[in-house]
A and B are shown apart, each in its own frame.
Chain A
Amino acid sequence: MKELKVLAVVVFFTLVTYWGVEPYAHSVMHKNVEEAKFENFQYKDLKAPAKGDPAKGKALVAACVSCHGIKSQGMKAPMDPVAAAQAYGVVPPDLSNAGAVLDEKFIANFIVSPTHAGLVKKSAMPGGMADAQGAADIAAYLKSIAPKEIKPKEAFEFACGRCHAVRYDKWTQIGQTPKTKADIKTGVDLAKMDFEKKVGQYQLKLAGYLGKLPPDLSIIVRARSEEYLKKFVENPQHILHGTAMPRVGVSKEGYEKIYKYLEEVGDPSKPKREAVGPWVIGYFVLFSFLAYLWYKSQWKGLK
Chain B
Amino acid sequence: MAHFDPNARPFSHQWLNDRLAIDTLKRVLSTEYWIPKNINFLWAMGMVLAATFGVLLISGIFLLMYYIPDTKQAFDSVNHTIMGEVGYGWLWRHMHGVAASVVFLIIYIHMFTGIYYGSYKRGRELIWLSGMLLFVSFSAEAFSGYMLPWGQMSYWAGMVITNLFSLGSLDLQGLVEWIRGDYVPGQAFLGRFFMLHVVLMPLIIMALIVLHFGTLRIPHVNNKDGEEIDFEAEAEKWKAGKRKEAKVIPFNPVFLSKDTFVLGIYFIFYFYLVFYHFEFAMDPVNFDPANPLKTPPHIYPEWYFLWSYEILRPFPKNPGLVAFGFAQVIFFLLPFLDRSPNVAPANRRGVFKFWFWFLLVDMIVLTVMGKVPPMGIYTTIGTVAAWTFIILWILLPFITKAEKPVRGHK
Q: Contact at B261–A294, with CB atoms within 8 Å?
A: yes
CB-based contact B268/A223 at 8 Å: no
B317 CB, min distance to chain A CBs, angstroms? 24
Instruction: Indicate if B212 sits at the interface (CB-CB under 8 A).
Output: no
Which chain B residues in 290-321 approach chain A with CB under 8 Å? Answer: 297-298, 303, 306
Selected contact of A17 from candidates B260, B287, B364, CB within 8 Å: B364
B260–A28 CB distance below 8 A: no
Indicate whether B244 reaches chain A with its CB closer than 8 angstroms: yes
Residues of chain B whose beta carbon lies under 8 Å from any beta carbon of chain A: 37, 40-42, 76, 79-80, 83-84, 88, 90-91, 105, 109, 243-244, 249, 253-254, 257-258, 260-261, 263-265, 267-268, 271-272, 274-276, 280, 282, 284-285, 287-288, 297-298, 303, 306, 360, 364, 367-368, 371-373, 378
Q: A301 contacts the other chain (Cβ, under 8 Å)?
A: yes
Cα separation A281 to B273 with both chains bound (whole Å): 10
Which residues of A have CB within 8 Å of B276? 273, 277
Q: Contact flags (1/0) for A237-281 with B, using CB distance below 8 Å?
A: 000000000000000000000000000000011001110110011
Q: Could you list 6 further interchain pairs (A-B, Cβ under 8 angstroms) beyond the known A21-B367, A28-B372, A28-B373?
A: A20-B367, A25-B372, A224-B284, A268-B83, A291-B257, A292-B261
Task: Judge if A16 is at the interface, Cβ distance under 8 Å.
Answer: yes
Say whether A62 faces chain B, with CB atoms less than 8 Å apart.
no
Q: Which of the listed residues B40, B249, B275 has the most CB atoms from chain A within 10 Å of its own CB? A: B275
Please, how many angstroms separate the alpha-carbon atoms of A172 and B280 in the complex?
32
In the docked arrangement, what's the CA distance between A288 and B271, Å? 13
Q: CB-CB < 8 A to A281: which residues of B?
A: 268, 271-272, 275
Q: Which of A1-17 contact B (CB under 8 A)?
A: 2-3, 6-7, 10, 13-14, 16-17
Query: What is the total number of residues of chain A having a CB less than 8 Å from a CB of chain B?
Result: 51
The 8 closest A-B pairs by CB, nearest first: A288-B264, A20-B368, A277-B275, A269-B90, A223-B287, A25-B371, A298-B257, A291-B261
The answer to the question of A195 belonging to the interface, with a C-beta cut-off of 8 Å to chain B, is no
Chain A residues closer than 8 Å to B80, beta-carbon distance: 167-168, 218
Inter-chain contacts of A268 with B (CB < 8 A): 83-84, 90
Q: Which of B42, B90, B253, B275 contacts A298 (CB 8 A)?
A: B253
A70 to chain B, nearest CB (A): 35
What residues on B are CB-neighbors of A2 within 8 Å?
A: 40
Number of CB contacts from chain A to chain B under 8 A: 135
Residues of B close to A18: CB separation below 8 A: 280
Docked pose: A168 CA to B76 CA in angstroms? 9
Are A29 and B90 closer than 8 Å at their CB atoms?
no
Beta-carbon contact of A16 and B271 below 8 Å: no
A10–B83 Cα distance when bound, in Å, is 33
- In the assembled complex, the CB of A149 is this many whole angstroms from the nearest CB of chain B, namely 26
Q: Would B244 and A219 count as touching, CB distance under 8 A?
A: no
- Secondary structure class of chain B's binding surface, majority of residues: helix
Chain A residue nearest in CB terms to B37: A302
| Chain A residue with Cβ nearest B378 | A28
Q: What are 25 pairs between A and B in contact, CB < 8 Å?
A: A18-B280, A20-B371, A21-B367, A22-B280, A24-B372, A25-B368, A29-B297, A29-B372, A167-B80, A168-B79, A168-B80, A215-B288, A272-B91, A276-B91, A280-B274, A281-B268, A281-B271, A281-B275, A284-B271, A285-B268, A288-B261, A292-B264, A294-B253, A297-B257, A298-B258
Q: Taking the complex as formed, is A303 at the interface, i.e. its CB lies under 8 A from any CB of chain B?
A: yes
A277 to B371, CA, bound (A): 31
Question: In the complex, are the beta carbons of B243 and A302 less than 8 A apart?
Answer: yes
Known contacts A13-B360, A281-B272; decide if A294 and B260 are in contact (CB<8 Å). yes
In Å, the complex CA distance between A83 and B289 comes to 30
Considering only CB atoms, which chain B residue lies closest to A19 in the complex? Answer: B368
Contacts of A301 in B (CB 8 A): 243-244
Given known A218-B80, A299-B257, contact A7–B41 (CB-CB < 8 A)? yes
A222 within 8 A of B: yes
Cβ contact within 8 Å between A299 and B90: no
Point out the residues of chain A lying under 8 angstroms from B306, CB to CB.
Answer: 21
Q: A25-B371, A29-B373, A223-B284 are in contact. Are A20 and B364 (CB under 8 A)?
A: yes
Whose C-beta in chain B lies nearest to the C-beta of A224? B284
A292 vs B284: C-alpha distance when bound (angstroms):
39
Contact flag A272-B90 (CB < 8 Å), given A21-B306, A223-B287, A303-B37: yes
C-alpha gap A272/B90 in the complex (Å): 9
Selected from A17, A219, A302, the residue in CB contact (under 8 A) with B368 is A17
- The complex places the Cα of A197 from the Cα of B3 at a distance, in Å, of 78
Please name the residue on chain B nearest to A287 by beta carbon: B264
Question: B91 contacts which chain A residues (CB < 8 A)?
Answer: 269, 272-273, 276
CB-based contact A302/B249 at 8 Å:
yes
Bound Cα distance A168, B263 (Å): 38
Q: Is the CB of A17 within 8 A of B367?
A: yes
Closest to B38 in A: A303
User: In the bound complex, do residue B257 and residue A17 qualify as a contact, i.e. CB atoms below 8 Å apart?
Assistant: no
A59 to B70, CA, bound (A): 56
Task: Report Cα–Cα, A181/B371, bound state, in Å.
Answer: 50
In whole angstroms, how far apart are the Cα atoms of A284 and B51 in the complex? 14
Are A295 and B260 in contact, CB atoms less than 8 angstroms apart? yes
In the complex, A109→B129 CA distance in Å? Answer: 70
Contact call B257/A295, Cβ cutoff below 8 A: yes
Partner of B271, one of A3, A280, A298: A280
